[in-house]
Amino acid sequence: MKQFSHAWLAFKAIERLEKANLGNNRQAADELIRWFWDHRDGVIQGAWYPDMVIKDMATSHVLKLTPQTGGQSVFGALPSTSLVKDYAIQSPVYGQAFVQDPDNNLPERCEALAHSVIDNLKMRDTEDKGSPIAPNNNHIAMRLFMLSHYIADAHMPLHCDSRKFSDGIDIHGKIEGLWDDEIRRFYLIDLLNERFFYNREGYPLRVDGGFDGSFLNQVEQGFATRAFTDS
């Protein structure tokens, strides 16, 4: 995904979390949401850092899988609400074994960033306020926004398929460009300060004209109607 797509997806994840029925996990979720509100102006920059600054696209943004003759692969069960599951069972390679590209380390990258956030929170809370060695909240928020980038890439189908989708007509690039174009078209962005303008609820402000015909509307409807699972 491209810059504004990554930021938009981060907002949508928080919005979905805010509206979900989480039971005993509600308090923890609300604390994360409050954290997000305090740092939301940095989402566009932070969620784009992995592409703009880190630039580890060749290994840490993909988890390429290739069908394998013989053998058996064991994958975790997808939630019943997953749209990927519906598409998967229709695939001609459904049920086949797969092998992972050994150069890809996207899951490890996500795990490392998640632990980095936890470690930095512990250090922040241990050191005296104003300590020169303590990470501040902005640093920790940046790592969370970076983590959102890698998680989004992990759910982008073309980041998980070993076929060459960037050759020739570049299907990969066209799809990602289309997403960013639609977000630019229907959401107001403060380009000078690299942030969204916000609606009354604090989420990206949308221009409604023509939105009903956009595929983003279908995505929005999916968020609104699909059950949320926290498993």
Looking at per-residue pLDDT, the higher value among 165 and 148 belongs to 148
Q: What is the pLDDT of residues 184-214, one digit of tens each?
A: 999 999 999 999 999 999 999 999 899 999 9
Q: What's the pLDDT tens digit per position in 135-152? A: 999 999 999 999 999 999
Once rounded to an integer, what is the mean pLDDT over residues 76-98? Answer: 80
* End-to-end alpha carbon distance in the chain: 25
In which domain, by residue range, is 18 found? 3-64+101-224
The yes-or-no verdict on residue 78 having pLDDT over 90 is no
Q: Which residue has the higher pLDDT, 90 or 74?
A: 90
Residue 128 within any structural domain of the chain: yes
Residue 231 has pLDDT above 70, yes or no: no
Does 192 fall in a domain? yes
CA angle 109, 184, 10 (to 5 degrees): 30
Q: Is residue 194 part of a domain?
A: yes
The SS3 of residue 99 is strand
DSSP state of 195: E
- Residue ranges of the alpha helices (H) in 48-170? 49, 57-60, 83-88, 106-126, 137-154
Whether 229 is in a domain gets the answer no
Say whether pLDDT at 18 is over 80.
yes
Q: For residue 73, what pLDDT is reported? A: 76
Taking the model in full, what pTM does it have?
0.90
For 34, 47, 178, 224, the CA distances from 4, given in Å and listed in that order, are 22, 9, 11, 21
Model confidence at 226, in pLDDT bands (50, 70, 90)? confident
The Cβ of residue 96 has, within 10 Å, a number of other Cβ atoms equal to 14
- Predicted confidence at residue 230, as pLDDT, reads 64
Domain annotation covers residue 95: no
Ranking 67-71, 169-173, 183-187, 222-226 by mean pLDDT, the lowest is 67-71
**In 3D, which of 143, 142, 168, 171 has the Cα closest to residue 159?**
171
Please state the domain count of the chain: 1
In a domain, 76, yes or no: no
For residue 11, is it within any domain?
yes
Least confident interval from 82-86, 109-113, 193-197: 82-86
Q: Is residue 92 part of a domain?
A: no
